[in-house]
Chain A
Amino acid sequence: MTGISVEATERGAWTVLSVHGPINSYTFNELQEKTTLHAGRVDMAVDLSGVSSMTSAGIGVLLAAIEDAETAGKRFYVIAPSEVARLAIESTGFAERFPTLPSIKELPV
């Protein structure tokens, strides 16, 4: 899978972006477009369970979305990151900046 797919769905008060594929300098624009559309406007969660790899290009997009959400007083969660996505987040040294839930079912009402 060379590209990524980013599917947006509504789940109660939340907009959930489900990402599948590798996030890197070739593909991050698609994620950035979707997060820019929603971040800071609605409560947003990004499901990373289908992410096969993630570079700092993807980390940067998530950090920007988190900052937009915080600035606007909206909620933001990373959901069920795959092993490589979790390792990429941990490797930044500031994983605490990424509010994470193990499952989409754990999203608060």
Chain B
Amino acid sequence: MPLIAPPSRRKTPHEPTAAERTARSRVRLYPCAAIFDEYDGFIRSLGFLRGRESAMLIVAGDEVLDNLITHGEISAAGVCVLVRRRRSGLTLAFFVDSHREFGEFARSVGDHAGARPRFDQREGRWHGLGLTMCGNIASSVSYRPGDLVDRVFLGFDG
């Protein structure tokens, strides 16, 4: 076995290490005005993210948090956020105490899959805009209601 790897096998400074390929980190956040700063700070602190990945996780994750907050789905127990890197890519996951509205929302997402965002003149706000944003940034988005814990999973290709 050669002691020096051929050029094609040598690591470049930009090549992720084995630890970076399988890194994971988690944080628990609580419902308050600072939750976005805390989430964004958590994402920016992750050394295993590269290039635009931080920005992608911030935009998509802020959108998920905003929806959970707007619909009152984050209990006093907070929300657990997990970021995991595998060879196949990144996963961003949110875990919150189960909430009735989440189940209804998750079912409605399936009903309106592929629908463009629309502005409701009567309510004066957009519907489906956040869903579209997440769907355009992440390669996969799934909303999984549970009896005890509701989960949101976003996948990002590696």
Contacts and interface: CB of A to CB of B under 8 A. Distances in A.
A66 to B, nearest CB: 12
Interface residues of B, number: 29
A84 B55 contact: yes
Contacts of A27: 33
Nearest to A22: B36
Interface stretch (A8-16, A37-45, A53-61, A70-78): A53-61
Interface in A46-71: 52-57, 59-60, 63
Contact of A26 (B36, B55, B130): B36
Interface string B36-68: 110010000000000010011011101101100
B82 interface: no
Given A54-B59, A87-B55, A87-B56, A92 B133 contact: yes
B137 A87 contact: yes
Contact of A91 (B34, B65, B125, B132): B132
A80 interface: no
Give the interface residue-count category, chain A.
20 to 34
B62 A87 contact: no
A74 to B, nearest CB: 20
Contacts of B125: 60
The prevalent SS among residues of B at the interface is helix
B69 interface: yes
Nearest to B130: A56
Contacts of B132: 91-93
Contacts of A107: none
B23 interface: no
Interface string A75-98: 000000001100110111100000
B139 to A, nearest CB: 13
Contact of B136 (A26, A57, A63, A93): A93
Interface of B: 33-34, 36-37, 40, 52, 55-56, 58-60, 62-63, 65-66, 69-70, 116-117, 119, 125-126, 129-130, 132-134, 136-137
- The 3 A-B pairs at the shortest CB distance, nearest first, are namely A56-B130, A56-B129, A91-B133
